[in-house]
Structures are given as C-alpha cells and as structure tokens.
A = this chain, B = another copy of it.
Amino acid sequence: MDKHTDFLDALASLLGPKGVLRDPADHERYVQDWAGDRLGMPLAVARPKTTRQVSDTVKLCREYGIRMVPQGGHTGLVRGAMPDLESPELVISLERMDRIRQVDPLNFSIAVDAGCILETVKRAADAEDCYFPLSLGAQGSCQIGGNVATNAGGLNVLRYGMMRQLVMGLEVVLPDGRIWDGMHALHKDNRGYSLAQLFIGSEGTLGIVTGAVLKLSPRPERTQTALLAVPSIHAAMQLYALARRQCSDLLSAFELIPRGCIELALEAAPQLSDPLDTAYPHYVLLELAATGPVDLAEMLDALLARGMDDDLVLDGVLASSESQSQRLWQFRESMLEGQQQRGEHLRTDISVPTSALAGFAEAASQAVGAYSPDSTIIAYGHVGDGNLHFNVLPPATLTEPQKKALLHDIETALFEVVDRFNGSISAEHGIGRTKQAAYLARTSEVERELLAGLKQLLDPDQLMSMGRILPDPRAS
C-alpha cells in the first residue's frame, strides 16, 4: 500500500487537488459503462487538464509500475475502459481536456482536445456552416478521444466512413509518456507509415489520444427521410444497391428495421402510432442529404417508383417536414429502449458482405431457431454497411441463469454462422474484454503474433489498458 500512497501523493502534486480523485465515493461514475456493466474499482481517477499533464501522469505510472486505463465518456459496449477487476488501475479521464482548439471552415477541418464531447464538436462545426458526420446514440456523452480509440461508426458510415476515415491528425501520449505530435490538418499527406491509423481503433492499448484533427464536410441543407415497407431482407439489400446507384452519393443512412422492432418501439413510446396501415415483415429507414440545387424529393420519388416496379418496396411513408422526419427516426431510437425494457438479451454487432447479408440473416435465424424456437430475434442495423445487430430475446419463462446460459450458447452458434459467411463478429463496437476470446479464436497465429509484437513495441512495460483486445500475460 505504501507504494500506492507515494504514487498518489506524487500524482496529486503533479495534477493539483482537482486533478486526482482518491476517495472511492467519487469513483462511482468512472466504473460503469453504457451497457451498465461494472467490474472493479480504480486505484484512483486522474483528471489531467493538458497534454503535458497526461504525459507527466503516464511517466509517473511508469516510474511506479502502476497500470492505467484511459477513459472517455464511458459509452463503450465491450468493457474496454472499465477499470480492471484484479489489479487496481489508475483511470486517466480526459474529461477536463475539452477545448475546441481550432475550426478551419475553409480547410473543412477542426482540431480538438480528446475530451471534447462529440455533440460539442458537432455544434462547433455547425457554427461555421460545416458538418462533422459521426452520429451515434451516445453523442451527448461520448468523447472524441474514445471515438478515435474505438474507431466509432454509427448512422452515417455508408456516406462518410468510420472514425478511421474522419481523422486527419492525432496527438498521442505513448505508454512511455512521450508525446507523439501528428496533429496535421492535411487532406493529403503521404509521408512514412501511418502512425495515426495504428492508434485509431487500438482501444487505449497503444497510447492515450489527447488531441485530434477531424475532417469536416459541408453541412447538408436538406434531408429527405422515408420509412419503407419491404417484403424481405433480400429485397432490402437489392433496394440498397439500387439506392446507391440512383441517388449518386447522397444516401446518408440506410437502416433495416424488422416488424418486431416497430412493436418494441410502440411499446416503449406509446405516443407513436403504427407508421403504416398494415404491418409488414421488414422496413427500411433511409435518408438522403444534399446541399445546392438537387431535388431530393424527385430523387426519392424516382427511387420508390423503380423500387415498386421491381417489387422491392410494398408501401412507405415519406417525411415532408423536419418534424415528420424526426418522428420516423423515433422508431429507430425507441426500439432500443423497448429492447432494453425486455431485460436480459443477446446483443451482437455482426458484419458480412452486403451481398451476403440476406443469406446470413436466414442462416442465423435457422441456427437460433434450432437452439431455442421460443426466443425472439431482433435483427436490425446499418445494413448499408453490411452491419447487422442480430439480437436475441430469450423466452420470458426462463430464469435469469437459464437465460444467460441459453444466450451464451446462441452466441456461439451465431458466430459460427458469421464465420461461414466470412463476416466479422465486431463490426463497430470493438473487442475490449467482452469479445476477446471469440476474437482470438478466429485470428490466425501470424496475426496474433503481429498484434502482440505491436503491443510489445509500444508498451514494453505492459502498463496500458492491459487485457483489452489481447490477453493480459499476467492473468491466466
């Protein structure tokens, strides 16, 4: 304990009284993630205010051999930023580094501290008539550093890409405390290996992102939203390919919503009413966005006419105002609440080639049905990216332990179907701790060695976010 006390005293003199939370009573909000999971308690919470302070904190951890875990808005879904259960970690929260450093509307770029909340960044871009496209349910609390570290995705990936495509430059404190300054605001730069791309998606295991330069787009002036009934997932995917072709690159969202999700939404939000007179097996929520002289309504009409001719669209409702559009998006948001209200369920985050998605959904449904015919399948998602949240609600009649056991088995069966379709068991949520075993079991020896080599190169003392993505060599 003496080592820890000495360390914390030294840390407090580095960061000042606001900079370190030592009292366990203050740790509560740093130990729980978006999914409500919690593991262990931290040694303490460090709240550095500058990149230099992050660097000094990391150097101190190294000196004392203290393990650390950087933390953003704790909205992750794979327990990556949660403090460890076994050995106490220092949580390094970036929350006080929340400065917008520079918006450059002529360069379509914004430079920010890692602790900036995504919503704040979006508003700062908006104020300069620009648009930062990353759009997530958690955008009111997630932080840019976490978005970078987890290569966040969300609703608009099909048009604007994931965080990997939106980062122009990064500033990172390495596990040895040195600062790597790669805060370039260049749209094109081809010098040496891309270190920025190595840090993006590394989930805090290779360094702490302290700043980022992000790519902005012109702010769309108008959007056009539609909720369309489609006869099958196969038809939805044909419609997607058609929409890509008919709507230039103006398609900004394409979400699959099965009937079950509409019902969950109606349960959770009684003010909503069934969007169409008849119930249909599947729906697609799509959005077009544009600036300048483009007639989106005409574009959407042409798509629907063609879609109906080809029997890909059965019925639909078009939003003719901003408030109608918001009402359509409420189905997407409320269905998540509805799902949550049903209690324990299996959440997955699968991707396959878009050409294989309908076949995958069918095979996956069969696999679940074979295991548990009374479970309810809720398969929705950003299918324009091939991303399906193929979720399963267990029969309500089971006990909690029975539910857990069943869902575990179903997950195993589902992941085998993913393998058959050359898919990914983590399309956007990352690996963290939750998916580590399933991930490593599917990773070749050569890839595992390369990953371990990279980790060893960047973090030779094995102190940063240990046990995420790769196993902790100290455990086991």
Contacts and interface: CB of A to CB of B under 8 A. Distances in A.
Contact of A292 (B197, B302, B387, B457): B302
Contact of A187 (B198, B246, B386): B386
Interface string A239-273: 00100111111100000000000000000000000
A188 B427 contact: yes
Query: Which 6 residue pairs across A and B have the least CB separation, nearest first?
Result: A106-B355, A197-B197, A107-B355, A246-B292, A188-B385, A107-B353
B180 A447 contact: yes
A151 interface: yes
A355 B439 contact: no
Contacts of A385: 187-188
Contacts of A194: 151, 164, 197-198, 200-201
B446 A453 contact: no
A414 interface: no
B291 A248 contact: yes
**What is the size category of the interface that chain A forms with chain B?**
35 or more
A190 interface: yes
A294 interface: yes
Interface of A: 104-109, 129, 150-151, 153, 157-159, 161-162, 164-165, 174, 178-182, 184-195, 197-198, 200-202, 206, 217-218, 220, 237-238, 241, 244-250, 290-295, 298-299, 302-303, 351-356, 382, 384-387, 422-431, 439, 443-444, 446-447, 450-451, 453-454, 457-458, 469
Contact of A446 (B165, B174, B187, B189): B174
Nearest to A106: B355
Nearest to A444: B181
Given A106-B237, A159-B249, A218-B245, 15 more contacts: A104-B353, A107-B354, A164-B197, A182-B447, A185-B353, A188-B424, A190-B201, A190-B424, A192-B451, A194-B200, A198-B198, A246-B293, A248-B250, A248-B292, A453-B457
Contacts of A355: 104-107
A294 B157 CA distance: 23
Nearest to A240: B106
**Chain A binding surface SS class:** loop
Contact of A186 (B190, B352, B443, B446): B352
A107 B386 contact: yes
B188 A428 contact: yes
B153 A427 contact: no
Contacts of A157: 187-188
B162 A188 contact: yes
Contacts of A291: 245-248
A354 B187 contact: yes
A299 B451 CA distance: 48
A192 B454 CA distance: 11
A424 B187 contact: no
A244 B108 contact: yes
Nearest to A439: B191
A187 B294 contact: no
Contacts of A446: 174, 178-180
Contact of A386 (B153, B188, B250, B387): B188
A185 B422 contact: yes
A457 B453 CA distance: 7
A192 B457 contact: no
Contact of A193 (B129, B192, B454): B454
Contact of A353 (B109, B298, B299, B469): B109
Contact of A451 (B109, B153, B193): B193
Nearest to A440: B192
A381 to B, nearest CB: 10
A358 B164 CA distance: 29
A208 B205 CA distance: 27
Q: Point out which of A443, A450, A458 has the most chain B C-beta atoms below 10 A from its C-beta.
A: A450
Contacts of A430: 190-191
